[in-house]
Amino acid sequence: MATENPPPPHSTDRPAWHSRLPQDVLDAFDSTIDGLTAAEAAKRLERDGPNELKEGARVSAWRILAGQFKSLIVWILVAAGAISGFLGQHMDAFAILAIVVLNAAIGFYQEYRAEQSIVALRRLTAPNATVRRDGELVSIPSLQIVKGDILALEAGDRIGADARLLQTASLQCIESALTGESDVVAKNPATLPQMDTPLGDRSNLVFSGTSVSAGRGEAVVVAVARETELGRIAQLLDEAVADKGTPLQRRLDALGRTLLWAALGIVTLMFGLGWLRGTGLLELALTSISLAVAAIPEGLPALVTVALSIGVLRLARRGALVRKLEAVETLGSTSVICTDKTGTLTVGEMTARRLLVGGRIYHVTGEGYGPAGEVQWEGKKAGEEHRLPLGELANIILGCNSSHLTEDAGTWKTVGDPTEGALLVAGAKAGGNRQRMDTSFPKIRELPFDSDRKRSSVTRRMPGGGLRILVNGAPGVVLSLSTQLFTGTDVRPMTAEDRHRILQHTSAMADESLRVIASAYADLLNGSAGDATAAVVERDLVFVGLTGMYDPPRPEGKSAIAKCHAAGIRVVMITGDHPSTAAAIARELGIPSASAAVTGTELDKMPASDLQRRAPGISVYARVTAENKLRIVRALRASGDVVAMTGDGVNDAPAIKGADIGIAMGISGTEVTKQAADIILTDDNFTTIVAAVEEGRGIYSNIRKTLQYMLAGNTGELLLMTVCVAIGLPSPLLPIHLLWINLVTDGLPALALATDAVDPDVMRRPPRPRLERITDRAFLQTMLLTGALTAALGVGVFLDGLKTGSLASARGSAFTVVVFAELLRSFGARSETKPIWRISLFSNPNLIIVVILSISLQVMSQHNIAFGSFLKTPPMTFTDCLRLLALGAIPLAVLEGVKMIRHRQSLSTPTVHPTAKSAPGTE
């Protein structure tokens, strides 16, 4: 029979191997239960190639380096550096070009590191595999696995290919890397009728990159290399994004184009006006070019880098490691956070919450696998009268348990099944003692959990020599095997009413999204447990009680989500868990519109246009695949949102790479996910993401106000020069004056502003739209008003100087008052809305020091002959310096008055509550 080759990974009609009979699958690959012959395997290996994840076309290091010089503002800075060198300002030229080289080096390092995702993904594949060749079991490198091979699986194996199970013996696998869920998955060869069964529910398939935790099995290989689910994720990583560009990058590029045209316009205007007035060609060229250089804030890239670097340090202290500097600012633009449930919104550790025994429902406090907590009855710790019923239940959930707990640096972890770990903790809180039980009631035999039986059992020898079998399992199954009921004090026959009441309690716990485990026991005749089957010994049980458990939400998660909503950020839960569980956790956390979850199966049937239309209204997705997650992220981005995506498993990596900002879990995250991410959380906590968003907004605010401060000062200089030249006055400032003003005001004061503390009100504002310009209307209005005030002050002082003294003294006064005005204005530039008396002056001591030092340097230039000669400023008395300092405060006073007026107007205007949706737009 000809071998059937499955369609490409992204094809919607891929063979549904889980819905086909084992023999049909064997026939499809021309294989048998005894496996392939060595000759046939070699032929297929030659035809299909090795079972490995081949890397796509890698971007060369030279190409990555060249990409760092694509930005227009970079080339403007290169030109500014060349012009500064031409004017003899070699120090300025060196500083500007050094900034360009430093930024290129940082960008190159970040992009080169990002190319390592596929390399990390390849390390997940198994190095060796056991297969049947010529009817014999042989160990081969996983590279040599071919379709049709029969894999032999046992505990501890890492699976080397996707395969359809043929037979199993208590087989359990860990698939968290693919599904994101930490629960052990029970496997069996039974055919599943539904072709669109979600990936996490395909219990008759095993997948490449996952591992076997218990049991044995054999399976026929149905997919290798890039046709596997792991390979599909590798392909999605390749396709996820080429160059998504951050909001800040787009805004700075737009600003660069504006500055380029502004600089050309200034050169043309000043050259034309000077030419008409008969100014010398050399002087005209120097002045025009100096003005053009002054119009460009050449310190901006360095300031942006410093602001982002400070943000990186602050975030590191709050539990977030930043791999890409610009990612910090992108977080500030985030309008949607797509987050995993398990371990991020929840604790990530199964926790028992309810116990039913003796007809009473007990509440269990505490979270995770730690010993903190107690069993409560009616809101108080269960007393002595509850010791007997709780002890009976504790004996079973502790005694029928193969997991154990460990403590490492104060953190408790479970070694084994998470469900059994939760039972261990609950049993200890209920008064049981695992160590004493193992000593007093030694284990004789264990029948592990099986997906067919849906229960596990352990036989232990009682002190009198008798045998007792302890059983934990699915409530319906255990109840059907029970003929008696433990009432809390004694045992009596079970009635139909008892069964009905227990099922009601089971349903009530399930409605709370609790996973329910039933416990029972039976006393056996001596010797009857030796080689007896489960059907023989697991019957005529005494039903004892129920344990309801779940992965609880993090205590701080609800407040963090509320903080997101107040900031206009929508939180979307994307999980591999079941829909009912996901929706219940979402409701408990306060995620709106979480009445129902959209499943991966529904997404597979949904056209891209429908998903884009519906995505802004969906808050919970469940049972999703890696491809589903990437589609969700793309749909949200296409609708205009700035999307942050979090995750820890391999299945999260494509969506993390495709989002505007990718966030990986540092504790539970795989290496693949970390390589694809922009930010790594050291505590796997959603609250840290919110803190990072707050820091990102603060950084953008700092960059914006610093840019406004710089451009407003440049505008004042340009208006001052243009007005004076236009009305026939001599040039009020020399080229050296313009360059000095740029150095003093665009340097240290701007740096101090860029590293200002985050405004506490930053999370009470809506997110910025994706296409919002950094220089919006309010920005330009303030910039022009500030520039006009500075220019008017400079013109006034210059005219007064011409009337009372020489041209040199008039220039010296105009030069000094402009420097003073811009330095004092830095105090008001700390906030666009708050006046300086509402901001603590000492919350930014660096700014105070810088302003005092800069004013001192300016005064020294009037009293030091060498310094004054360098800046071409005549001597000036201290009295005149104080007078100019007072005059320099006028623009600051006017701007603070404007803030007060705007504040009063805003109080009288009705407030419209911001929505979480950003303005529509496209990339």
Catalytic residues: 340
Q: Which residues pair with 419 in a beta bridge?
A: none
Q: What secondary structure letter does DSSP report for 758?
A: P
Residue with token string 């629960």: 183
Asked whether 233 and 626 are in contact (CB, 8 A), the reply is: yes
Q: Kindly list the strands in the beta sheet with 620-622, ordered across the sheet, starting from the edge strand earlier in the chain.
A: 320-322, 679-681, 661-665, 643-647, 336-339, 570-574, 620-622, 598-599
Measure the CA dihedral 218/222/226/232, to 10°: -90
Cα 529 to chain centroid, rounded: 52
* Angle in degrees, 0-180, between the axes of helices 281-295 and 735-746, rounded to the nearest 10: 10
| Strand-strand pairing, 360-364 and 351-357 | antiparallel
The token pair at 796 is: 């006034």
What are the tokens at 214? Answer: 């218990």
CA atoms lying within 13 Å on the CB side of residue 85: 11
Pick from 507, 405, 399, 410: which is nearest to 462 by CA?
Answer: 399
Cα torsion 130, 132, 137, 143: sign: negative
Closest by CA to 73, choosing from 248, 260, 341, is 260
Contacts of 357 (CB under 8 A, 6+ apart): 389, 390, 392, 393, 486, 488, 544, 545, 546
DSSP 586-629: HHHHT-SS-SSPEEHHHHHTS-HHHHHHHGGG--EEES--HHHH
- Which residue, chain included where needed, has tokens 């920005």? 779
Residues 791, 784 contacting (CB under 8 angstroms): no
Tokens of 622: 């469940």
Distance of CA 236 to the CA centre of its chain: 18
Question: How many Cα atoms are found within 13 Å in the side-chain-facing hemisphere of 130?
Answer: 12
**Which residues lie below 8 Å from residue 10, measured CB to CB, with a gap of 6+?**
232, 235, 627
Radius of gyration of the chain (CA): 36
Q: Alpha-carbon distance 201 to 557, whole Å?
A: 28
What residue has token string 């344990």? 547
DSSP helix/strand/coil, 43? helix
Please, are residues 131 and 183 in contact by the beta-carbon 8 Å criterion? no
Half-sphere exposure in the Cβ direction for 324 (13 Å, CA): 27
Paired tokens of 779: 């920005």
- 141's CB contacts (< 8 A; 6+ apart) are 127, 128, 129
User: How far apart, in whole angstroms, are the C-alpha atoms of residue 33 and residue 22?
Assistant: 10
CA distance 337 to 642: 9
Q: What are phi and psi of 571, to 5 degrees?
A: -105, 125
Under 8 Å between Cβ of 346 and 353: no
Q: What is the DSSP string of 500-560?
A: HHHHHHHHHHHHTT-EEEEEEEEEE-TTTTSS--HHHHS-SEEEEEEEEEE-PBPTTHHHH
